[in-house]
Structure 1
Amino acid sequence: MKKDSTHPTELTDSLNQVLADSYALLSLTHLAHWNVEGQGFFALHTAFQTQYEELFTAVDEIAERVRALNAYAIGGLSRLAEVAQMEEFVSPLSQEDYVKKLIKANEKLLSDAVKCRDLAGNTDDAETEDLMINRVTLHQKTVWMLKSFLK
């Protein structure tokens, strides 16, 4: 029995929001990976690679969850960017600026993942809730690690 009368489309729309955010963040993190330079290059280059590779796997899992709920995953670069509404940046930037901008992007995704997690919980969709709990946990850790770099 559902806890409220939320229509399943609202949940799949929320999942598609997290999908778009994740795809946008993947692209921004990849850009930072390619173009970061300076004394902290090796650490950041490696960290960014770990992050974008994880995001690559995540977008597939999120899209497949949308499909499992009998909806369609959004796609196409312009559509994903339109939905994500994530601030893009252009290289070159300082290491600190890459990190600050990636913190902001991760926090945006984190906020949308929390909304999706809560919506899934309110509709008794434990599988989607579990997926979003994992996304929230990962992006909380990523934000903490990026913030630690700036100290």
Structure 2
Amino acid sequence: MKAKKAKTPSLNIGISDSDRAKIVHGLSTLLADSFSLYLMTHNFHWNVTGPQFNSLHTMFMDQYTEQWNALDIIAERIRALGYPAPGTFKEYQKLTSIKEVEGTPKAEEMVRHLVAAQEATARTARSLFPVVEAANDQPTADLLTQRLEIHEKTAWMLRSVLDV
């Protein structure tokens, strides 16, 4: 997907138009992965069953709530860079690296899917660093660092549930 330029006055924030477009494309991919992860986590929260129901139901709620709040942060950074944020399922499906889970997996399989989705989102965030560093874009680098910390920690916590 090519980033669509907003119809706003030109920006002069010290990042070239071409670098902003590259950063926005990466952030749009991160937003799509983040939304896909949010949706998967919320779905699993609703549908988890079994002996670990209470702990997983609560854990998933904490995770989808955090993820929901992150969507706004990522989208607002895209807007600050002068572009519209993608906001449709169609756009997210084109951009995301996360595969949709069909049906209702068992609890342990839900956790495995979430580990993979957290790790995929972390990889997407990490892949944007070279572009952001080359453009000297500290706010986006800070956002990416914060997202990476959360995704890596959450993946570790989920993996720990599987370590029996």
TM-score for both structures, normalised by structure 1: 0.93
Bigger fraction of residues in helix: 1
Q: 1:49 aligns with which of 49, 61, 85?
A: 61
8 Å CA contact 1:118–1:129 kept in 2: the answer is no
Name the counterpart of 2:7. Answer: none
Q: After the TM superposition, which residues 70-149 of structure 1 pair with which residues of structure 2 at under 5 Å, given as runs? A: 70-149=82-161
* Counterpart selection for 1:68 from 66, 70, 80: 80
Question: How far apart, in 1, do the equivalents of 2:99 and 2:40 lie?
Answer: 9
Give the RMSD, CA atoms, in angstroms.
1.9
Deviation at 1:71, TM superposition (A): 1.2
Residues matched between the structures, number: 150
TM-score by length of 2: 0.86
**In the alignment, is the contact (CA less than 8 A) between 1:107 and 1:139 conserved in 2?**
yes
Gaps of 5+ in 1: none
1:23-74 CA-partner distances (Å, limit 9, x unpaired): 0100000010000001101110011001111111100000000000111111
Deviation at 1:6, TM superposition (A): 6.2
Q: How far 1:92 moved relative to its partner?
A: 2.2
CA contact (8 A) 1:117 1:133 kept: no
